[in-house]
Amino acid sequence: MKIEDYVRTIPDYPKPGIMFRDVTTLFSDPRGFRMAVDALVQLHVNTDIDMVAGIEARGFILGGAVAHQLGKGFLPVRKKGKLPHETISEEYDLEYGTDVVEIHKDGIKKGARVLVIDDLIATGGTAEAAVKLINRAGGIVVGSTFVIELPDLGGRTRLERHNVNVQSLCTFAGD
């Protein structure tokens, strides 16, 4: 089986016309989860990085596993108000409003080379906010990797405008 075979598609969620790509079925299958984590690790085993940043919430699962396998630190990129210490934040646009992500102000050492990991890239708003935060904190984003890419929604282009290399394990067109 391929990674995309483990991803459940839920039509019309969260609204009509959306084909939601659910990775919980990938995570719950031992073979599928191992396949995804191993593939992410293999993409970066020879990449010069100091830490992995995982975007809330599914990026924590993947990013934590990848950081562990690579023997690197982990940086959580969280929704506003979830981190207990002094933070820096980045607001980004949603389809109907805005949201905010944060990292600890002291979460990255100046010049640290950071890999951004999440389950899915669609429009790229959250990932772009994470990249901006890491850069503002003094880190250097060396790349971003996602299990799923929805290429028709433009997230890759959005990150590439920031000179961030984008990789994905599988794509679903037309979403």
**Residues 164, 144 contacting (CB under 8 angstroms):** yes
Strand order in the sheet with 97-104: 87-94, 97-104, 73-79, 51-55, 113-121, 140-149, 166-171
Q: How many angstroms separate the CA atoms of 130 and 166, rounded?
A: 14
- By C-alpha distance, which of 145, 136, 120 is closest to 45? 145
Q: Would residue 156 show up in a list of annotated catalytic residues for this protein? A: no
| Residue among 21, 78, 95, 149 flagged as catalytic | 95
What architecture (CATH level 2) is domain 47-171? Answer: 3-Layer(aba) Sandwich (3.40)
Count CB neighbours of 97 within 10 A: 6
Q: Would residue 91 show up in a list of annotated catalytic residues for this protein? A: no
Amino acid symbol at 45: V
Q: What is the pTM of this model?
A: 0.96
Residue boundaries of the structural domains of the chain: 47-171
Q: Across residues 115-126, what is the average pLDDT?
A: 96
Q: What is the pLDDT of residues 1-42, one digit of tens each?
A: 999 999 999 999 988 988 999 999 999 999 999 999 999 999
Q: What is the pLDDT of residues 74-114, one digit of tens each?
A: 999 999 999 999 999 999 988 778 999 999 999 999 999 99
| Residue among 8, 21, 58, 156 flagged as catalytic | 58
Spatial neighbors of 26 by CB under 8 A, at least 6 apart, are: 3, 6, 7, 32, 33, 36, 147
